[in-house]
Amino acid sequence: MKPSSAPDSSESRKVMFNADKEKDFSTWFSEIISKAGLADLRYNVKGFVVFREWSVLAFNEMYALLERILQRKGHWPVLMPALIPEENLNKEAGHVKGFVPEVFWVTEHGAGEKFEQRMALRPTSETAFYHMYALWIRSYKDLPFKRYQRCQVWRHETNATRPFLRSREFYWIEAHCAFQNEQGAWSQVREDMETTKEFMHETLGVPFIFFQRPQWDRFAGAVETFAADTLTPDGRVLQQPSTHYLGENFSKPFNVQYVDASGAQQYAHLTCYGPAISRIFASVIAVHGDKKGLRFPFKVAPVQVVIVPFLNGVNDSKVLAYCEKLRVRLSLKFRVHTDASETRAGEKFYFWEMKGVPFRVEVGSRELKSKKAIVFRRDSETKKEVSLPGVERFIEKTALDYDATLRMTADKAFKNNTVNVSSWDELKAHARDGKFIRANFCSTAMNGVECAEKIEKELGLSVRGSIPFREEKTFGPCVACGKPSTKVVYVGKQY
């Protein structure tokens, strides 16, 4: 007997799912979080949520896939402490300035006894990693040195929080790499971009554009920052993984040095990469979901196949026995669940479609007799009659097409997502289009801050940056001030 809190409990099926994703994404997103058992907002600390079983199962698959990619590319896992001494944060001036306003501080322990210095709940882990890298790295033979960890980070986000999209505690992977020279570090930045493409687009089917962030929007302490942006159905920009070239900005204050081949001491060139699993999960929900609910990519679906037996009082024991044999066999390759509850078949169908399970296998007395089963695809909402012995092979083969279909559908929706503007009036006219706006800009250096602030304050848009490693020819004056432009930038409404 399943407990009442099981993901397929009859209690959770009583609430109908009515929101239309395309017409009212915000309501749809809030509703699917609740109805699909993804998170609970009722925890009694503001800005913190409880991630529930259906999202955690998907998180675990996403972590596993991304970690395999990282390990294949030479990264090794570590686990750093959650507490970071204040002295660590203070070593890099730009870093501490950027993060201290968001830090949660631990100041005492036990019965009110104060620590000698404050401890930060890690907002990010550069100052923990590089403290240790100074101890671990000795020679050029140790380089490149590539480590990562999966962990939580805590930031006192002052904007409105929302599960998966923006919260004060989020789950991610952060990778930190050390190299002999600038060339090696820049190669890592490009590799991080390729990793993002392999994981986000090729595996999860989420399209995005990588931007080189303007100077005022760089990661605190970075020389350059590059970040992937995608669009939610309501036209807002959602930042995805970012990668940063840190140069020697952290290696000098943390004394991350190595002895080169000539015997001389040199500072390592550092990079860091931060794919946030919880926010990537939000993009999977937003991009692939439809009016019925979730549509998980096959590779990360918490349950990949649900078996639904038709029970009508005739041959029920035989049907259930066969479904169990089928479940055991399919479980050797897939994540499988059998819904043998007393709920009506139509309600079961609706429930598991809402939960985003890629395949549903229907078996009743008729199928038992004919040695066939009905297999339903969540992406296309089509059914196919398959021989019972061939169900395993059919799902294995069709799963590849299933993920490809989700990816192609997302790419099609994302394809015409950019509009060109050449004046302030045009920028204002397209401010609510829900697209990336390609515009001329006077600079991406600090003297462009005033124009960026004008765009943000008057239109509610943010300058996302320029296309990295590519010079795009300007086609007019700066859209904000009318002065000669030096860059083509992309603008959007940030989540």
pLDDT digits (tens, 9 = 90+) for 306-364: 999 998 877 889 999 999 999 999 999 999 999 999 899 999 999 999 999 999 999 99
Question: Residue 34 is encoded by which pair of tokens?
Answer: 């609740």
Per the domain annotation, does 297 fall within a domain? no
pLDDT at position 7: 53
Task: Specify whether 342 is located in the same domain as 396.
Answer: yes
Per the domain annotation, does 122 fall within a domain? yes
Instruction: Characterize the bridge pairing of strands 209-212 and 169-179.
Output: unpaired
User: What's the CA gap between 239 and 408, in Å, rounded?
Assistant: 21
Q: Of 254, 288, 322, which one is at a domain's C-terminal end?
A: 288
Task: Specify whether 261 is located in the same domain as 309.
Answer: no
pLDDT at position 309: 95
Task: Specify whether 139 is located in the same domain as 265.
Answer: yes
Domain count, the chain: 3
Per the domain annotation, does 275 fall within a domain? yes
pLDDT at position 4: 35
* Range of the structural domain that residue 157 is part of: 23-288
Q: Of 400, 432, 451, which one is at a domain's C-terminal end?
A: 400
4-50 tens-digit pLDDT = 334 544 444 544 556 789 889 999 999 999 999 999 999 999 889 99
Task: Specify whether 38 is located in the same domain as 64.
Answer: yes
Task: Specify whether 93 is located in the same domain as 207.
Answer: yes
What mean pLDDT value characterizes the chain? 93
pLDDT at position 13: 52
218-246 tens-digit pLDDT = 999 999 999 999 999 999 999 999 999 99
Percent of the chain scoring above 90 in pLDDT: 86
Four-residue CA torsion sign, 344, 345, 347, 352: positive
Q: Which range has the worst mean pLDDT, 158-167, 431-440, 453-462?
A: 158-167
Per the domain annotation, does 293 fall within a domain? no
Q: Taking the complete model, does pTM exceed 0.85, yes or no?
A: yes
